[in-house]
């Protein structure tokens, strides 16, 4: 399906978009002149790269992986976070970070992104521009251009402002084989920092809660942290970002994929005091709250010290910690050794604790 072609609209026929109090209408999704104008004056202007300027229905580029033993990866994420703007980010920056991170969790260097927008009729153009500019800033900061895209519009009441789906591709360097199935008994579980900020930031905003210290989402792109880690040892076995479902669910996923158990020391898991307090107030367990700028790494115990040192030397890993071990367990249980010396099983998230968190 054609997005409209920005380079080919004759500007003489069109008044500029009104970014002060204009709104999205159905014509912006019809594929004609209004679509082309939106693409040219908003998306191409903000994302600003050679591929979008060409105005084709796809982006073409040189082959990504050319070295011996390199592989490619692709990842996609739909973003429906509500509210659209929250402390520490918005749906635009989140849509960039989320997909960059999914690519990076294979140990890959992210190369290119695509972005598809589903807009609700009457959505304010001012808000859309704010989101798109935030996306552009995140993309530039990551060094990963948004090279192709699409825009659709649905009637009022058939969407919710804006949904953004991003897709990313990247290259896994030779010698890197990271996979959820590679955890082995005796391995060490590392966590790159404090948990729970993203989910708590969203829930606080949604519930209208004001805490003394504002809790900001940890939304961030982790690809340079991953690169620093792989520079000290290519033997990392598993990487994953504990997003929806939180740390506990992510550990359960990995345990299931690898056919192992985990033993996690609760006291070793870093949580900001204000997140702890907010979770108590909101009735949430930080172990199940989404993160958007953290990763779990599993490696052989001999590799753990240098990997942890590399993580702590990166701005996004200063609070990195060793939080537990991989153990043999036919049931695939994730056991938590509590702060009080007890033990409990941390199961998968069940139910809908935090809807539309990303």
- Of residues 38 through 97, those in contact with a second copy by CB under 8 A are 54-66, 70-80, 82
Using the minimum distance from each CB to a second copy, give the nearer residue, 105 or 308: 105
- Of residues 113 through 152, those in contact with a second copy by CB under 8 A are 114-118, 147-152
Q: Measure the CA–CA gap between 219 and 198, rounded to whole angstroms.
A: 7
Least Å distance, CB 207 to a second copy, is 16
Nearest 5°: the CA angle 333, 334, 337 is 125
Structure-token pair, residue 228: 């620093």
Choose, by CB under 8 A, the member of 22, 27, 185, 234 that binds a second copy.
27
Least Å distance, CB 347 to a second copy, is 8
Least Å distance, CB 172 to a second copy, is 6
Using the minimum distance from each CB to a second copy, give the nearer residue, 157 or 208: 157
Residue 109 backbone dihedrals phi, psi, to 5 degrees:
-85, 120
Using the minimum distance from each CB to a second copy, give the nearer residue, 82 or 274: 82
**Beta strands 109-120; 146-154: pairing state:** parallel
Using the minimum distance from each CB to a second copy, give the nearer residue, 133 or 179: 179
Using the rule CB under 8 A, is 174 a contact of a second copy?
A: no
- What mask, x for binding a second copy by CB under 8 A, covers residues 293 to 332? --------------------------------------xx
Give the residue from 19, 322, 34, 15 showing the smallest Cα distance to 193.
322
- Of residues 209 through 268, those in contact with a second copy by CB under 8 A are 240-245, 249-250, 252-257
Piece of the chain touching a second copy by CB under 8 A; list 157-165, 185-193, 202-210, 319-327: 157-165
Note the Cα 343 to chain centre separation in Å.
31
Q: Measure the CA–CA gap between 9 and 98, rounded to whole angstroms.
A: 33
Using the minimum distance from each CB to a second copy, give the nearer residue, 11 or 302: 11
Choose, by CB under 8 A, the member of 18, 141, 155, 175 that binds a second copy.
155
Choose, by CB under 8 A, the member of 39, 52, 131, 169 that binds a second copy.
169
Q: Are 96 and 142 in contact (CB under 8 A)?
A: yes
Q: Measure the CA–CA gap between 20 and 227, rounded to whole angstroms.
A: 41
Least Å distance, CB 239 to a second copy, is 9
Nearest 5°: the CA angle 247, 203, 89 is 85
Least Å distance, CB 260 to a second copy, is 11
Report which secondary-structure segment, H or E, holds 262: strand 261-265
3-state secondary structure 173-207: CCCCCCCCCCCCCCCEEEECCCCCHHHHHHHHHHH
For the beta carbon of residue 94, count every other beta carbon within 10 angstroms. Answer: 29
Using the minimum distance from each CB to a second copy, give the nearer residue, 267 or 344: 344
Using the minimum distance from each CB to a second copy, give the nearer residue, 159 or 196: 159
Q: Measure the CA–CA gap between 32 and 345, rounded to whole angstroms.
A: 56
Least Å distance, CB 76 to a second copy, is 4
Choose, by CB under 8 A, the member of 290, 320, 323, 336 that binds a second copy.
290
Sign of the four-CA dihedral 271, 273, 279, 285: positive
Using the minimum distance from each CB to a second copy, give the nearer residue, 102 or 303: 102
Piece of the chain touching a second copy by CB under 8 A; list 134-142, 165-173, 187-195, 222-230: 165-173
């Amino acid at each position: 399906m054609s997005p409209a072609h920005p380079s080919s609209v004759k500007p003489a026929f069109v008044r500029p978009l009104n970014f002060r109090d204009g709104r999205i209408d159905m014509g912006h999704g019809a594929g004609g002149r209004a679509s082309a104008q939106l693409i040219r004056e908003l998306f191409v202007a903000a994302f600003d790269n050679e591929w979008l300027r060409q105005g084709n229905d796809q982006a073409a580029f040189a082959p990504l992986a050319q070295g011996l033993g390199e592989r490619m990866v692709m990842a996609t994420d739909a973003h429906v976070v509500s509210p659209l703007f929250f402390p520490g980010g918005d749906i635009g920056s989140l849509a960039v970070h989320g997909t960059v991170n999914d690519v990076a969790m294979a140990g890959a260097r992210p190369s290119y992104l695509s972005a598809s927008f589903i807009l609700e009729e009457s959505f304010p153009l001012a808000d859309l521009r704010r989101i798109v500019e935030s996306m552009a800033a995140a993309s530039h900061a990551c060094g990963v251009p948004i090279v192709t895209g699409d825009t659709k519009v649905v009637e009022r009441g058939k969407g919710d402002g804006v949904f953004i789906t991003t897709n990313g591709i990247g290259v896994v360097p030779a010698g890197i084989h990271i996979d959820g199935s590679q955890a082995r008994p005796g391995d060490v579980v590392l966590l790159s920092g404090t948990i729970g900020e993203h989910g708590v930031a969203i829930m606080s905003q949604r519930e209208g809660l004001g805490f003394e210290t504002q809790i900001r989402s940890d939304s961030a792109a982790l690809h340079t942290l991953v690169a620093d880690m792989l520079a000290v040892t290519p033997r990392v076995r598993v990487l994953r970002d504990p997003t929806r479902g939180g740390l506990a669910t992510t550990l359960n996923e990995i345990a299931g994929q690898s056919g192992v158990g985990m033993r996690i020391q609760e006291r070793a898991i870093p949580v900001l005091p204000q997140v702890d307090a907010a979770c108590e107030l909101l009735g949430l367990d930080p172990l199940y709250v989404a993160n958007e700028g953290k990763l779990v790494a599993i490696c052989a115990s001999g590799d753990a010290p240098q990997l942890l040192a590399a993580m702590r030397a990166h701005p996004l890993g200063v609070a990195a910690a060793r939080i537990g071990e991989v153990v043999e367990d036919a049931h695939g249980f994730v056991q938590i050794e509590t702060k009080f010396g007890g033990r409990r099983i941390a199961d998968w998230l069940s139910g809908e604790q935090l809807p539309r968190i990303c």
